[in-house]
Structure 1
């Protein structure tokens, strides 16, 4: 329930905030609550990924990406995440998450979430990639961006995203989402990834 409350608060914040440019970092503020803790009294490792979901919603709302999603009835899908922890967060501690889109390709938005203490010390850094899908298939990233800032082009992948993609290819045996997409139609690629049909 607390996750849904945080999502609701992020949506309300977005409605009240002036529209931000998609490449502009968005800062979301949180506090460690009792239900966020693990048995050692620190914020649970898995909670960081849930908070990343909320921060990503905050970004989509403030950048008005969410408006395009709702208007076109797209569904959001997460294609992976990578996280590194630097220090612990404790009960009642305030912290912030700085969310920014680093780049995008034909399908995926690559998004960075930096968890920081209120004095700016890094707590964790998380990379995620997200895509949108309609009933007809994958929604390309450029049409989504064009609805918000027409003609805006992606920056080049930063080294950390490129390194992540290379590691991802190794992890799944050279069968990454991008490789699959090159060999299959959009609908077939989705079936392949979700296991709805044999390769």
Structure 2
């Protein structure tokens, strides 16, 4: 189930937080509740992606994105994500989510998020490719940036983000399967 109550709490908590510049980091604090865990008694990998919304959406609010979306009747979509899991988060463990805009290109925004344990260890990190959508499709990020109060000039994407973009561009779509093998049952 989607954590609507938790998201509402985050939006209320940060409703008067100072605005963030494009390179600002939003930090939020959370607990791994029993309904967030999997069979191995740790934060479920899919739930991790859902919990990242608790950082990404308030980040959008503080950066002026949610106001621009509402004013222009735009929407948001996730167009890709790459996740690296390194440390377990156990039930009732407290953790922090750090969220920042890594930059944008001609079509997409790239959001860098990570979950940190109280010990200071990074448990996991996700790089999201997101898009703002309007009635005629994807709204160019420079146009969105201007609506958010920025000049529309993208910050330089970190090298590792650009490498992911380049690698993902070479990924086949739709996925390539051997139809003869599938017909035989795999």
User: Deviation string for 1:2-33 (max 9, x for gaps)?
Assistant: 51112212221231212121320111111000
Does residue 165 (structure 1) correspond to residue 155 (structure 2)? The answer is: no
Give the Cα separation in 1 of the matches to 2:169 and 2:80. 12
Q: 1:16 maps to which residue?
A: 16
Question: Which range moved further: 148-157 or 4-13?
Answer: 148-157
Q: TM-score by structure 2 length?
A: 0.87
> CA, structure 1 residues 170+133, in 2 after alignment: closer, same or farther (shift >3 Å)?
same
Q: Any idea what SS the aligned residue of 1:21 has?
A: coil
Size of the aligned set, in residue pairs, is: 175
Give the Cα separation in 2 of the matches to 1:148 and 1:114. 24
Unaligned runs of 5+ residues in structure 2 are 176-186
Q: Could you tell me how far 1:84 is from its partner in structure 2? A: 0.4
Q: 1:70 maps to which residue?
A: 70
Q: Is the 8 A contact 1:13 1:58 kept in 2?
A: no
Higher helix share goes to which structure?
A: 1
Unaligned runs of 5+ residues in structure 1 are 176-199
Q: 2:108 maps to which residue?
A: 108
Q: CA RMSD in A?
A: 1.8
Q: Any idea what SS the aligned residue of 1:55 has?
A: helix
Q: Any idea what SS the aligned residue of 1:156 has?
A: coil
Give the Cα separation in 2 of the matches to 1:9 and 1:23. 24
Give the Cα separation in 1 of the matches to 2:116 and 2:65. 25
Give the Cα separation in 2 of the matches to 1:38 and 1:138. 35
Q: Any idea what SS the aligned residue of 1:60 has?
A: helix
